[in-house]
Amino acid sequence: MSRMKRVYSWLDHRLQLGKPLLEMAEHPIPNRTASWWYVFGSAAFTLLMLQIVTGILLALVYVPSAGEAWNSLNFLNHQLTLGWFLRAMHGWGSNFMVAVVLIHMAQVFLFGAYKYPRELTWTLGVFLLLMTLGMAFTGQVMRFDQDAYWGLGIGASILSRVPVVGGSLVHMMLGGPIIAGATLSRFFTLHVFVIPGLMLAFTFLHVWMVLKLGINEWPMPGRVVRRSTYMAEYHELTEKDGRSFVPGGVWKDAVFSAAIIAAVAVCAVVFGPFGPGGQPDPTIIQTVPKPDFFFLWLYAVLSYLPPNLETPFLLIAPVLGIAALLGLPFYASEGEKSWHRRPIAILALTTIAVSWGVLTHLGTYTPWSPHMDAWSGGPAIPARFLRTASPVEREGAVVFQAKQCRNCHSIGGYGGQRGPALDDVATRLTGDQLIRQVLQGGGNMPAYGKNLSPAEVTALVSFLQTLHPANEPSAADAAQSVTGH
Amino acid sequence: MNEAGHEHSSENHSVVGSEQDRLTISRRWLLLKMGIALNAVVGVAITIPVVKYLFAAVKPDEEYKSWVSLGPVANFPVGETRLAKFTNPVRRSWDGETDGVACWVRRVAEREFQVFAINCAHLGCPVRWFPQSQLFMCPCHGGVYYADGSRASGPPERGLFPYEVRVVGDSVQIKAGEMPTLSNSASLVQLGGVKTDASKGDSPCRG
Ligand code: FES
């Protein structure tokens, strides 16, 4: 025993770390913050460590070369003992990390933790969030499959919209004129050296400030933050109603971190690694690129914005959003912390969470994308639509199928969702309106005027006119019924 | 450091030394400033080549582009639109399959061609050609284009990106080398505009 002590004191005499560490461990925290609500920050830190370790282990095998990356990933998945497991841990760890960082942020926002004197802690946290998302995006590039390739194309296309310097930015991003070897090399550098290095530095400062300034106290309605009195009040609180950080608060952090790592491992074992998908050959165009989970919301936004709003949105919204996050603690550094007294904050958080959820949900089934194979690959038009059809109407059904109408319009429950389902289109549009819509398009529909012969149009429209439930009449033109036409 | 030095020397020289100390200290500060200045000079001298290295990929579009053959004219029947593939003229040996590029070749008449980038004018996804309905469709956000490349519907603001085309002897050639985006192709004529007028079918912007 005394031998251990001697080793310890030999080390500490030289390292000089014992005293400051002990101080940190024993610093008092308010009793009520030793709560399960306060575990997300430490969980994010644990996940960062997990990502670093699994990342280093993957880098032992991964080849960051456009020609070989995809092969080395498949080697990891299928040939190397437990390579799949490490890829899965890293992939799921990334998903968990983005989620935990977002939850952590929502929680500190809700608890008013960004107020005086913790403004800078929040600011660094915002940068840490951006870097976490940056790691998620560059990580998707490391997977170097079709989705990664076209994801880079989308990134480059967004950058190209920047006025004046757009072209140069694209060259910078891609490392050349096209997405190729140079692109993967620079994303590898970002993913492995630049962003993680910055993240570690920022994380150190972030945690340092939490320990030095003390954890945010549990917000109470009426306990208002004032610059002049806050520090004294906080110290009084930790003295009167506090406990030592170790072990009083930290045991919950430890339990939750272990649970999170276990959850990552379970997901890794049960669901396996992500991809890689198809090989990154840009001449294979039979592909439907899709971003990773945390960028699905953006995918939805980009589909729904009107074309003329898109460039301003893409270039201005991120700047405004980040500025708002960074500016928040300076705009509202004093005042109420309790959510009972901050209706606008609650409203803002709910709005963001709900829109994110809805957009992500839409992103998972992409109603805006045509189903490229619906016209050729799916089930035929159900017989019930054709049982009583005349030869012309049947011919129209053939036109409907052959001209890819079904890529955007579903019928009998199968087809794209870009346009409305046509099962009962005849109850909405009259024959004349159908002809007009087919010939001239409109809404989100291209004009088929040049692409169909008059006979095909006649057949198609007569087929469409049969599409109404038996007990519901088809749409009628009021003017025609008056003239008795 | 300043204070420590002061204390130390005042022990040795007691009263007399204080004037001398101030001189010593200001000399030390001067030396430090010189050190910083030296670092600044060296820093700038090194930064210039580093920045040049970092920005080496940023070049005028023309430097990346050159004429590439898409194969003999006979590969492309009149009135049809076919997928053509070529190797990007700017490439590195470790690019793997990513140095391949695809494009859509439309032979309008005997010696008249239109060649479109595979990349959607919206955000660059690969568009697919459907000869039956004479439309290009984009799998990403549902952009649609007519046979002549003009915009039909969906999020794209403009028509497909056209390449400059020429026919030399027997081969169809295009000016290629760069991923087409709005920043390097937008200066070209707007194909068909955003009008939904079906009769618009003439092919502007011939290479
Ligand atoms: S990339 Fe083609 S519609 Fe968005």
Mean pLDDT across the stretch A174-180?
A: 93
A:B CB pairs within 8 Å: 217
What's the pLDDT score for residue A382?
Answer: 81
Residue A269 has pLDDT above 90, yes or no: yes
CA atoms within 13 A on the CB side of B10: 11
Residue holding tokens 């403004």?
Answer: A119
Q: Which helix (H) or strand (E) holds A151?
A: helix A146-159
Q: CA A36, CA A376: separation in Å to the nearest integer? A: 54
Cα of B104 vs centre of ligand 1, distance in Å, is 16
Confidence of residue A301 (pLDDT cuts 50, 70, 90): confident
Amino acid symbol at A429: L
Q: CA B90, CA B97: separation in Å to the nearest integer? A: 13
The model's pTM: 0.87
> B28: Cβ below 6 Å to ligand 1?
no
> B152: Cβ below 6 Å to ligand 1?
no
3-state secondary structure of A339: helix
Closest to A67 in 3D by CA, of A222, A181, A163: A181
Cα of B31 vs centre of ligand 1, distance in Å, is 61
Q: CA B167, CA B206: separation in Å to the nearest integer? A: 12
Chain B: residue whose CA lies nearest to A280: B98
Mean pLDDT across the stretch A239-251?
A: 88
Closest to B125 in 3D by CA, of B91, B105, B102: B102
CB contact under 8 A, B123 and A280: no
The per-residue pLDDT for range B64-116, each reduced to its tens digit, is: 999 999 999 999 999 999 999 999 999 999 999 999 999 999 999 888 999 99
Architecture of domain A26-365: Up-down Bundle (1.20)
Chain A: residue whose CA lies nearest to B131: A403
Q: CA A444, CA A452: separation in Å to the nearest integer? A: 18
Set of chain B residues whose Cβ sits within 8 Å of the Cβ of A67:
94-98
CB contact under 8 A, A370 and B137: yes
Beta strand spans in A175-332 (E): 224-225, 242-244
Mean pLDDT across the stretch A427-449?
A: 84
Q: 10 Å Cβ neighbour count for A54?
A: 22
Q: CA A132, CA A295: separation in Å to the nearest integer? A: 13
Query: Which ipTM value was assigned to this complex?
Result: 0.85
**Are A98 and A296 a contacting pair, CB within 8 Å?**
no
Set of chain A residues whose Cβ sits within 8 Å of the Cβ of B134:
450-451
Structure tokens at B142: 């549902």
Q: CA A193, CA B140: separation in Å to the nearest integer? A: 32
**CATH number of the structural domain A383-483:** 1.10.760.10
Q: CA A407, CA A410: separation in Å to the nearest integer? A: 8
**Are A439 and A449 a contacting pair, CB within 8 Å?**
yes
Measured between CB atoms, does B148 come within 8 Å of chain A?
A: no
3-state secondary structure of B158: coil
3-state secondary structure of A439: helix
CB contact under 8 A, B92 and A182: yes
In Å, what is the CA distance from A192 to each residue of A153, A185, B196? 21, 10, 48
The per-residue pLDDT for range B1-13, each reduced to its tens digit, is: 444 444 444 445 5
Measured between CB atoms, does B141 come within 8 Å of chain A?
A: yes
| Rounded percentage of chain A residues whose pLDDT exceeds 90 | 54
Same topology, domains A26-365 and A383-483? Answer is: no
Nearest residue by C-alpha to atom 4 in ligand 1: B141
Cα of A326 vs centre of ligand 1, distance in Å, is 32
Distance from CA of A157 to the nearest CA of B (A): 5
The per-residue pLDDT for range B29-74, each reduced to its tens digit, is: 999 999 999 999 999 999 999 999 999 999 998 889 999 999 999 9
Set of chain A residues whose Cβ sits within 8 Å of the Cβ of B58:
168, 171-172
Q: CA A424, CA A395: separation in Å to the nearest integer? A: 19
Set of chain A residues whose Cβ sits within 8 Å of the Cβ of B100:
281-283
Q: CA B143, CA B78: separation in Å to the nearest integer? A: 26
Confidence of residue B187 (pLDDT cuts 50, 70, 90): very low
Mean pLDDT across the stretch A202-210?
A: 95
Residue A477 has pLDDT above 80, yes or no: no
Q: CA B135, CA B33: separation in Å to the nearest integer? A: 69
3-state secondary structure of B13: helix
Domain spans of chain A? 26-365, 383-483
β pairing state of B81-87 and B100-109: antiparallel
> B13: Cβ below 6 Å to ligand 1?
no
**Are B124 and A154 a contacting pair, CB within 8 Å?**
yes
What's the pLDDT score for residue A82?
Answer: 95
Structure tokens at B104: 């859509």
